[in-house]
Chains A and B, each alone.
Chain A
Amino acid sequence: MAKTIIDKIWENHSVIQENNKPSLLYIDLHLLHEVTSPQAFAGLREKKRTVRRPDLCFATMDHNIPTKNRFVIDDSIALKQIQTLEENCKEYGIHLEGLHSADQGIVHVIGPELGLTLPGKTIVCGDSHTSTHGAFGALAFGIGTSEVEHVLATQTLWQQKPKQLQVKIEGKLGYGVTAKDIVLALIANYGTNAGAGHVIEFTGETVRNFTMEERMTLCNMSIEAGAKAGLIAPDETTYAYIKGKKYAPKDDEFDEKVNEWSGLRSDPDAVFDKTIEINAAQVEPMVTWGTNPSMGVGISEHVPSLNEVQSEKEKESIQKALAYMGLTPGQSLTEVPVQHVFIGSCTNSRLSDLKAAAEVVKGKKVHAEVQAIVVPGSQQVKAKAEEEGLHLVFKEAGFDWRDSGCSMCLGMNPDIVPEGERCASTSNRNFEGRQGKGARTHLVSPAMAAAAAIEGRFVDVRKFVSGLREGEAYAGI
């Protein structure tokens, strides 16, 4: 029978598989961080259990660490969480990239960067954006703390096999349109539960032409479409990225692995439970206006008018969101002033993201009313960006250039958006209170965020970069 890549990975990892029961799946890589692991280690200790395969675990700290003066942690509870991770890793012999490490960074940035994330692996982490690693053709999904404990103790998880959704993306991206805009458009059109109960396989010409960093952005936000995971079959782009990475297979072993990985693709006649098709050429730079990632529109559109929607329930939910966001129905987003700009997060903090933002910022100044920060996804990304002089571009423009971490994506560290203020953010969630109580988050691509920083309001980055004035027709490239 024809199989999808998901079927193949599932089969390869089933320790126990019985009809109509969850499968016991073996886990190849368990990533850990300071926030969702302490209770799992405490659980092990309480029951006098141990870590079965510390060699398949890898830890870092990213969620609550400061991005400025990173070694001075004033928050005593955050500090305790960090120290607890250090102690747990030491006790159980788990490799940790701590605050002082040149390899530290957001867990979903360093996994790929260090060559830990490889095609065909099962990867879990106590973090929903684990789906990012699916860009390499891995089955990667977020788990809760009880499951973290389960994986620590057994290196396995009981999993009901999910349904499979193919998202086929064809067409050439328009100028100024990025992978972030594609995934925001997918969620805006099909909703936050489009992928509920499914794993997504992204296919199509557009995806094939994406770089690994673009693929990571796409897979990262699968969870925002409600999917358990999202993945992309590996190809030459994948192998080229992996080659030479710190922990990746080397020499003959690498060639052998490539041979093995090349079988990781869905058979031509494989059947999906559902297929969604996206025409990338029709997508424009996106901005969210509401309080979940499906509440987004193209920059040339406007916030929905209430007479555009049919159901009372939807009307109510739009009104609620707009009240929180301080917007009015039908309003154009380019009128909306922003006070904060955040370029970072596991969605958009890699070198290519920073380059795209720097391209827009170069030679310009951050608007007087805006506070803007760039938080590289890892210390390696930071070092590479500095080699290329990107930090100077940002600093000269008036951006704050920080150390790596999750930062303002969720505001667990001191990087918080004050109540009632508005942030153009390259992160993944615009939930109420996500970036701080009462904070108003608009999700955008790095280039759109950079343009908003300069203008102090949302602008169409296509016009901004091409030098066109508002109202002039854009011819495209």
Chain B
Amino acid sequence: MPGFKTLTGIAAVLDRENVDTDQIIPKQFLKRVERSGFGQFLFFDWRFNSEGSPNPEFELNHEDAKGAEILITGANFGCGSSREHAPWALKDYGFKVIIAPDFADIFYNNSLKNGILVITLPKPVIEELKARVKNGNERITVSLDQQEISLGTDKVASFDFDPYWKEMLQNGWDEISLTLQYDEAISRYEKRIGVV
């Protein structure tokens, strides 16, 4: 996986709370046995009308959301089912950063494991960010190195980020390779508790 340092891109705003994984990727698309190709089904029931045409009302179909790589959204994003198909779909669609007041736990972990930078910010900061994105359609810059979000040279917010995941994401490391280095420690544990 490529490492994440800094991204400058268009932000789309999905101004809804409690967006669940059933909405992010409806169940009829969970039957594939591959990890790829889920972007076309992202937010399917919101994004498309019943006859298959794009729903012009839906936020991501707005002209200024085209090509967005950053998603700004509401609280408890990604709640519900554990389906990793949700971050697969978001990533495949083009999102690299998701910003929300908070995330559902499993979704948050699933996103990190797919190299998506999930950022938690206080609601007022998100409101400010949303207002500025809506007004100017400016590109925003997200720096993981600095843990900062800025518009042009103007710093809008800094964010907290778990140091373990910062290093993992910056380097694009594969978590399993890392853990396999602890093989001996795992074997010792198994011996100690008697699950050999």
Q: Give chain A's interface residues, CB within 8 Å of chain B.
A: 12, 15-16, 20-22, 24, 26, 28, 35-36, 38-39, 42-43, 47, 49, 52-53, 56, 63-64, 75, 77-78, 80-81, 84, 126-128, 141-147, 149-150, 153-156, 158, 160, 162, 192-193, 196-197, 226-228, 292, 313, 317, 410-412, 429, 431-434, 437
Residues on B with beta carbons closer than 8 Å to the beta carbon of A292: 18, 20, 79
Complex: A437 Cα to B164 Cα, angstroms? 40
In contact, A147 and B45 (Cβ under 8 angstroms): no
In contact, A127 and B185 (Cβ under 8 angstroms): no
Residues on A with beta carbons closer than 8 Å to the beta carbon of B20: 292, 429, 431
Complex: A412 Cα to B81 Cα, angstroms? 13
Interface size on B, residues (CB 8 A): 49
Output the least CB separation between B168 and chain A (Å). 9
Complex: A99 Cα to B83 Cα, angstroms? 23
Residues on A with beta carbons closer than 8 Å to the beta carbon of B110: 144-147
Residues on A with beta carbons closer than 8 Å to the beta carbon of B113: 144, 146-147
Q: A28-B195, A292-B18, A433-B45 are in contact. Are A144 and B82 (CB under 8 A)?
A: yes
In contact, B76 and A77 (Cβ under 8 angstroms): no
- The 3 A-B pairs at the shortest CB distance, nearest first, are namely A144-B110, A146-B113, A38-B33
Q: A145-B84, A192-B79, A193-B102 are in contact. Are A77 and B22 (CB under 8 A)?
A: no
Output the least CB separation between B157 and chain A (Å). 21
In contact, B182 and A226 (Cβ under 8 angstroms): no
Residue among A53, A193, A292, A432 having the largest count of chain B Cβ atoms under 10 Å: A193
State whether the Cβ of B159 lies closer than 8 Å to any Cβ in chain A. no
Q: Closest residue to B45 on the A side, CB-wise?
A: A433
In contact, B186 and A15 (Cβ under 8 angstroms): yes
- 29 A-B residue pairings within 8 Å (CB atoms): A12-B193, A15-B185, A15-B189, A21-B163, A24-B182, A28-B195, A42-B33, A43-B35, A77-B32, A78-B31, A80-B31, A80-B33, A127-B81, A144-B82, A144-B83, A145-B110, A149-B176, A154-B179, A158-B164, A162-B105, A192-B18, A226-B104, A228-B106, A317-B18, A432-B23, A433-B22, A434-B27, A437-B26, A437-B50
Complex: A158 Cα to B163 Cα, angstroms? 13
Complex: A154 Cα to B177 Cα, angstroms? 10
What's the dominant secondary structure at chain A's contact region? loop
In contact, B176 and A410 (Cβ under 8 angstroms): no
Complex: A196 Cα to B17 Cα, angstroms? 14
State whether the Cβ of B30 lies closer than 8 Å to any Cβ in chain A. yes
Complex: A273 Cα to B27 Cα, angstroms? 35
Residues on A with beta carbons closer than 8 Å to the beta carbon of B34: 39, 42
State whether the Cβ of B80 lies closer than 8 Å to any Cβ in chain A. yes
Q: Give chain B's interface residues, CB within 8 Å of chain A.
A: 16-18, 20, 22-23, 26-28, 30-35, 45, 50, 75-76, 79-84, 87, 102, 104-106, 109-110, 113-114, 162-164, 175-176, 179-180, 182-183, 185-186, 189-190, 193, 195
Q: Closest residue to A20 on the B side, CB-wise?
A: B163
Output the least CB separation between A25 and chain B (Å). 10
In contact, A47 and B176 (Cβ under 8 angstroms): yes
In contact, B33 and A432 (Cβ under 8 angstroms): no
Neighbour of A39 across the interface among B33, B87, B163, CB < 8 A: B33
In contact, B82 and A127 (Cβ under 8 angstroms): yes
Output the least CB separation between B94 and chain A (Å). 20
Q: A146-B113, A154-B186, A432-B45 are in contact. Are A128 and B81 (CB under 8 A)?
A: yes
In contact, B175 and A158 (Cβ under 8 angstroms): yes
Q: A150-B179, A226-B105, A433-B23 are in contact. Are A156 and B186 (CB under 8 A)?
A: yes
In contact, B80 and A431 (Cβ under 8 angstroms): yes
Output the least CB separation between A295 and chain B (Å). 10
